[in-house]
Structure formats: structure tokens, C-alpha cells
Amino acid sequence: MIIDILSWICLVAGGALGIVGGIGIHRFPDFYSRLHAAGITDTFCATLILLGLGLQAGWSIAAFKLALIFMFLFFTSPTASHALANAALHSGLQPRLDGDEREGSS
């Protein structure tokens, strides 16, 4: 019962963070800052959802698999973000930095 409640709290909070990340992707001004919003979904949102599912699974093989998913996500998601950012910089996309004049969409 308590475990059920805890796992639901984790699942709902994780889902809410995913939505927040999605809103962030729409609200932030340029590509690089949108990466940060996606970072929320990558890290804490995924962690909470996996934790909630793990509580539902109990001590079983499914929990071990969830832990592995968590581990791989932790190693691969920063690599993917870095690859995206690096590719954007290499192809000449300039980040809009603080203090720049607000220009039209470019």
C-alpha cells in the first residue's frame, strides 16, 4: 500500500517533469537553451519514472532490467546532447547569448 502510493508519487512527478520539459522546449529562445529543457526530461523525469516502475516491480528481474535501463540512459543521454550541441556549433549555428539585441527569427 505504502509502496503503491510512493510509486504513484514518483510516476506522477516524473510525468509532470516530462511535461515541464516539453513546455520548456517551446518557450526557450534558441537551439542551445532548448537542449537544457530537454535535459530535464533526460535526467530527473526518467529517473523518477524508472524509480516508480521499479517500486511496482519489487525485487525481481524486471527491477534489475529497469536499473540497467537507468544506467545506460545515464551514460548515453549526455553523449547525445553533447553530439547535438557540437554538431550545431560546427555547422555554424550561433547561440543567442545574454545581452544580444533581440532579432527576428533567424
Partner 1 sequence: MKSFNFGVLLFLCWIFLSGHLEPLLLGLGVASVALTVFLSRRMNVIDHESYPLHLSSRFPGFFLYLFREIVKANIDVAKRILRWRGASVSPQMIQIPQSQETNLGAVIYANSITLTPGTVTISLSKDSLTVHALSKEAAGKLATGAMSKEISNRVFDQ
Contact, 42 vs 72, CB < 8 A?
no
Closer CB to partner 1, 8 or 74, in the complex: 74
Q: Which of residues 58-87 bind partner 1 (CB under 8 A)?
A: 61, 64-65, 68, 74-75, 77-79, 81-82, 85-86
**Residue type for 84, please?**
L
Total Cβ atoms within 10 A of residue 49: 20
Is 35 one of the binding residues for partner 1 (CB under 8 A)? Answer: yes
Cα→Cα distances 31→43, 51, 90, Å = 19, 30, 14
Q: Binding residues for partner 1, per CB under 8 A? A: 17, 20-21, 23-24, 27-30, 32-33, 35-37, 39-40, 42-44, 61, 64-65, 68, 74-75, 77-79, 81-82, 85-86, 89, 95-98
